[in-house]
Homo-oligomer: A and B are copies of this chain.
Amino acid sequence: MFKAKIRSEVLKEVIDVIATQVDEVKFTITTSGINAKAVDPAHVAMVDITLDKGAFEEFKAKDTEMGINIEKLREVVKLTKSGETIAMELDEDHNRLVLSLGNITRNMSLVDTAGMSDPKIPGLNLAAKVTLELDELRKGLRAAEPVADHIALIADENNFELRADGDTDFSSLTLVKDQLVELSCKEKQRSLFSLDYFLNMIKAVSSAQNITLEFGNDFPVSMDFTFADSKGKVSFLLAPRIEND
């Protein structure tokens, strides 16, 4: 059983985040909220998104799951404006989700979840933790874009740097401890990532003000942020690009 109402802009952010990885996703529904985990086809990135029941305007559920075509759901959300409410009800007998918005009813057949994997989120112990303003990160990535197709994240006790080295040019976003919301790093850490993947994920973040990056020498980076008044929680994970000698 799943019956809920959600604000359009919250559902939109859920869709944007999941769409960075997959077209179809399995939502795991419990009495306390919903969760989805998804791995991109190349197995380079993954996302873990949780929405507490408090993020919904109304929420009634028993343990269940539903397979959703993300683009179909996006089409429905596009019919609404920010602030409008979308009602959802799982019709398990007919294997479909019934969406209501204003005077419109939209019946959406569910996707079979039998073939969907259950990605395991690896437990990583990452030595550098940096919280910064999303706008700064975004600017640093945009500055890197014309220069190279990969970026390095570098941290030490006092500094964080996002750096792109091209053949002739480089771009660097450098923030000292005072310019960061949080910096926790005992020894220098450095890891290289695909700029495309990084940008793709960051573009899906709309309402968060800060974002927390955790990384370590040649380890994956995790990017965590909250939305919907902290009732929604996203963790992206991106594998490192190993540097050639």
Using a CB–CB distance below 8 Å, which chain A residues touch chain B? 72, 75-76, 78-79, 96, 102-109, 136, 139-140, 142-143, 145-147, 168-175, 179
The docked-state distance in angstroms from the alpha carbon of A136 to that of B104 is 9
Nearest Cβ in chain B — how far from A202, in angstroms?
15
Contact check: which of B79, B109, B143, B168 meets A109 at CB < 8 Å? Answer: B168
The A interface is mostly helix, strand or loop, or mixed, namely mixed
Nearest Cβ in chain B — how far from A153, in angstroms?
15
Contact check: which of B79, B139, B145 meets A102 at CB < 8 Å? Answer: B139
Cβ-defined contact, B173 with A103, below 8 A: yes
Contact check: which of B76, B106, B169 meets A107 at CB < 8 Å? Answer: B169
Cross-chain pairs A/B with CB under 8 angstroms, 20 sampled: A72-B146, A75-B145, A76-B143, A78-B142, A79-B142, A79-B143, A103-B136, A103-B174, A103-B179, A104-B140, A104-B171, A104-B173, A105-B171, A105-B174, A106-B143, A106-B171, A106-B172, A107-B169, A107-B170, A109-B168
Cβ-defined contact, B108 with A169, below 8 A: yes
Given A136-B103, A139-B102, decide whether A109 and B174 contact each other with a Cβ distance below 8 A.
Answer: no
A168: chain B residues at CB < 8 Å are 96, 109
A175: chain B residues at CB < 8 Å are 103
A142: chain B residues at CB < 8 Å are 78-79
A174: chain B residues at CB < 8 Å are 103, 105
The docked-state distance in angstroms from the alpha carbon of A136 to that of B102 is 9
A179: chain B residues at CB < 8 Å are 103
Nearest Cβ in chain B — how far from A158, in angstroms?
14
A106: chain B residues at CB < 8 Å are 143, 147, 169-172
Nearest Cβ in chain B — how far from A135, in angstroms?
10
The docked-state distance in angstroms from the alpha carbon of A106 to that of B174 is 11
Contact check: which of B79, B139, B173 meets A139 at CB < 8 Å? Answer: B79
Cβ-defined contact, A172 with B109, below 8 A: no
Closest residue on chain B to residue A167 by CB atoms = B109
A79: chain B residues at CB < 8 Å are 139, 142-143
Nearest Cβ in chain B — how far from A226, in angstroms?
24
Closest residue on chain B to residue A145 by CB atoms = B75
Nearest Cβ in chain B — how far from A231, in angstroms?
28
The docked-state distance in angstroms from the alpha carbon of A145 to that of B79 is 11
Cβ-defined contact, A146 with B75, below 8 A: yes
A136: chain B residues at CB < 8 Å are 103
